[in-house]
Copies of this chain bind each other. A is one copy, B any other.
Amino acid sequence: MNKNFFMQLALNKAWEYQTLTYPNPAVGAVVVKNGSILSVSAHRRAGESHAEVVALAEAYEKLSGKEFGVDKYDAKDAHNFLLSLPKDFFSECEIFVTLEPCSHHGKTPSCASLISALKLKKIYIGAKDPIESHSGGIKILQNTNIEVETEIMQEECQALIEPFVIWQKRAFILFKLGQTSNGVIGGGYITSKESLKYVHKIRSVVSAMLIGGNTVRVDRPTLDCRFIDEKAPNIYIYSKRDDFDKDIPLFGVSNRSVEIISDISPLLDKPSLILVEGGEGMLKALKNNIDWLLLFQAPKLSDSQLSYNITTELEFLHCQKSGIDLMIWSRFGK
């Protein structure tokens, strides 16, 4: 198969962790030896090994038939283990990475220097690192005579890191909506447990959630991360009035702040990831500020009138299964 085929596998895997890697970018990596796929891996969350490291660890497992000696998600241990392997262990391997490997030497050496040290045969890169001070990975690789080919599925690889590029500069506004296949959004839980879990995973990493005052009054939500047992996000309630019934469950969640705001503009400039959950009112109120829409679409049609009406263009970026539902990521208003 051709280069795009392998890069598409890396992309698909990375999308499984879209936004969950905050503040890091979503990145996927595939290791191939003589045309045979050894691993399809991704960076799962900030603080864990980068995609390249996980992919090399899983390629090791495939090639050696043994389990990886240490926790492959522990960056330091994984780097050290990989560097302890015989020098030519990966010399017939190629790696496809959606993003230029990092050049930053922190708790561990950079991924670029790891790949150089392991002397892989070739690296295929999708998007270059958009942050000037982080880039340089390609140069490190080239200086150590690793063959580098860039711009493989560049547009798709750039779309994958668009949230990352935006949240470096200002708030990335992700609007999440759960609906039936004919656009009904109200009347209790619509989507499956798997989808609710994914939403709780996003909630657990965001800078804050933004929610409409009306939703708070009507739905009386909790807005925590109970399905995955993680810390609840801080909440901004977008409302002109501040006379909320303090028995509404979201006010009773410990270790998080709840702030009522009548103006969102101060939020928008701050580099951050803001998750919005709401309905037609919030869609309309934030129409010019929403970056992406994340639609959880349930396998049902409903004759309830609880639909939403707003006119805007979307651009589908990725569609994946989430339990029995579909999860559709799209640019909003483009």
Contacts and interface: CB of A to CB of B under 8 A. Distances in A.
B299 A303 contact: no
Given A181-B183, A183-B182, A328-B181, A299 B311 contact: no
Contact of A299 (B35, B183, B316): B316
Nearest to A284: B303
Nearest to A298: B314
Given A35-B36, A36-B34, A316 B309 contact: no
Contact of A37 (B35, B283, B313): B35
Contacts of A183: 179-184, 307
B324 A315 contact: yes
A319 B304 CA distance: 25
A145 interface: no
Contacts of A180: 183
B37 A1 contact: yes
Contacts of A313: 299-300
A80 interface: no
B312 A301 contact: yes
Given A1-B37, A183-B307, A307-B307, A326 B321 contact: no
Interface in A32-60: 34-37, 40
A37 B5 CA distance: 10
A301 B302 CA distance: 18
A230 to B, nearest CB: 28
A35 B283 CA distance: 48
A295 interface: yes
A309 B314 contact: no
A158 interface: no
Contacts of A182: 179, 183, 307-310
A116 interface: no
Interface in A74-104: none
A172 to B, nearest CB: 20
A330 interface: yes
A314 B295 contact: no
Interface in A276-334: 283, 295, 299-305, 307-316, 319, 321, 324-326, 328, 330
A314 B181 contact: yes
A166 to B, nearest CB: 20
A299 B330 contact: yes
Contacts of A314: 181, 299-301
Interface of A: 1, 5, 34-37, 40, 179-184, 283, 295, 299-305, 307-316, 319, 321, 324-326, 328, 330
10 contacts: A181-B328, A182-B183, A182-B309, A299-B313, A299-B315, A299-B330, A300-B311, A301-B308, A301-B310, A301-B312
Given A303-B310, A319-B319, 8 more contacts: A34-B35, A34-B36, A179-B183, A183-B184, A301-B312, A302-B309, A316-B324, A326-B328
> Which 10 pairs from chain A and chain B are nearest by CB?
A183-B183, A35-B36, A182-B183, A303-B309, A299-B314, A303-B311, A36-B36, A1-B37, A299-B316, A301-B312
